[in-house]
Chain A
Amino acid sequence: DAKTTQPPSMDCAEGRAANLPCNHSTISGNEYVYWYRQIHSQGPQYIIHGLKNNETNEMASLIITEDRKSSTLILPHATLRDTAVYYCIVSAYSGAGSYQLTFGKGTKLSVIP
């Protein structure tokens, strides 16, 4: 399984863009990058995923480098409700049509008023 490396914590001012980096230098050609977040005491919430092209949805944008060895999750206008642990995950094929998500430690994002 490809491993991911994220900073343990980051701060962001409310209203500013939050840029969360992730390194995944051993990613394979058919592995996707997923981002989830977990607000305290809740289950993780899916944010976005991508293969090699940049992706955008109503929550965030995902920028993947051309060599696919790193990516950045962008929350364009962070609010206090975006304070959470953000997980960058590379999906691994486990056989029999199943994929297993391996969660790391994630990045604790604190949005500051």
Chain B
Amino acid sequence: KAGVTQTPRYLIKTRGQQVTLSCSPISGHRSVSWYQQTPGQGLQFLFEYFSETQRNKGNFPGRFSGRQFSNSRSEMNVSTLELGDSALYLCASSPWGTSNTGELFFGEGSRLTVL
């Protein structure tokens, strides 16, 4: 069974640009969560999508957005990039969402560098 696939793995952008990251969950999983990891702040929750609906959101500015498609694939977008957006962006899938009886399956991440 294929794992969670994130693309691209590495990318470099400049301040003010926008970026779109993609995540393909494990087949049959309907929930996709996104996390940002930086050396200073650690792993921080961005948002979760379940059946194409955002049902949970972390404390990030509106420049960070996402969506989920009918096949459960998800994309996240960051507009007007800032230097502080440089981070590893991780996607995690789960069949039931981050429920008390489930676990999250993480991808390898997309490493974004903003110059």
Contact = CB atoms under 8 A, between A and B. Distances in A.
A49 B43 CA distance: 19
Contact of B56 (A32, A96, A104, A106): A96
Interface stretch (A12-20, A38-46, A63-71, A72-80): A38-46
A35 to B, nearest CB: 10
Given A42-B108, A43-B107, A103 B43 contact: yes
B98 A98 contact: yes
Nearest to A92: B98
For B45, B92, B98, B107, the residue with the greatest tally of chain A CB atoms inside 10 Å of its CB is B98
Interface of A: 30-32, 34, 36, 42-46, 49, 51, 87, 91, 94-106
Contacts of B103: 34, 46, 49
B88 to A, nearest CB: 8
Nearest to A51: B100
A106 B104 CA distance: 17
A99 B99 contact: yes
B98 A91 contact: yes
A51 B35 CA distance: 24
The 10 closest A-B pairs by CB, nearest first: A43-B106, A103-B43, A99-B98, A46-B103, A98-B56, A96-B55, A98-B55, A94-B56, A32-B100, A44-B106
A49 B101 CA distance: 9
B64 interface: no
Contacts of B108: 42-43
